[in-house]
Amino acid sequence: MLSEQALKEIDRNVAKYPTDQKQSAVMAALAVAQGEIGWVSPEAMQFVADYLGMPAVAVQEVATFYNMYDTKPVGKFKLAVCTNLPCALSGGERAGDYLKQKLGIDYNETTADGLFTLKEGECMGACGDAPVMLVNNQTMCSWMSNDKLDALISDLKSKGAAK
């Protein structure tokens, strides 16, 4: 189900733990699977469970507990806007509302072209940079004014069209 390179990355993470505790690499394995497939499908969860020798329900519990894992397909660019109280009070709700209007979708929806999924994010630990957001769980964006949001969407659209 996963490429040889993905399996090597999972093995690299498994090697960090005692041999009888390889299930400790479940979060890393889910991240690798999501990175390769684009989301954590039921088949991917079963694969990770089998690969790590653990019950599938235990993998599902991890995948559904943490909001960094997508258990449904998402757009090419997942935009997670922090709406926890400090960010909400410092423009997070405004940024989210602006993106909803600009993209024509609500939270937990994907644009018709499949490029963008909008999510509410949990605390990202950067309250002083509010409003903040994450792109694809990897790129933190700070002080997201409407102008910065416009520039980000434009840049991502050009990257999405290029591939």
pLDDT in tens, the chain (163 residues): 899 999 999 999 999 999 999 999 999 999 999 999 999 999 999 999 999 999 999 999 999 999 889 999 999 999 999 999 999 999 999 999 999 999 999 999 999 999 999 999 988 999 999 999 999 988 999 999 999 999 999 999 999 876 5
Residue 151 to residue 155: CA distance in whole angstroms: 6
Give the global pTM: 0.84
Burial of 86 (0-12, 13-18, 19+ CB in 10 A): middle
Write down the residue that tokens 């093995």 correspond to: 11
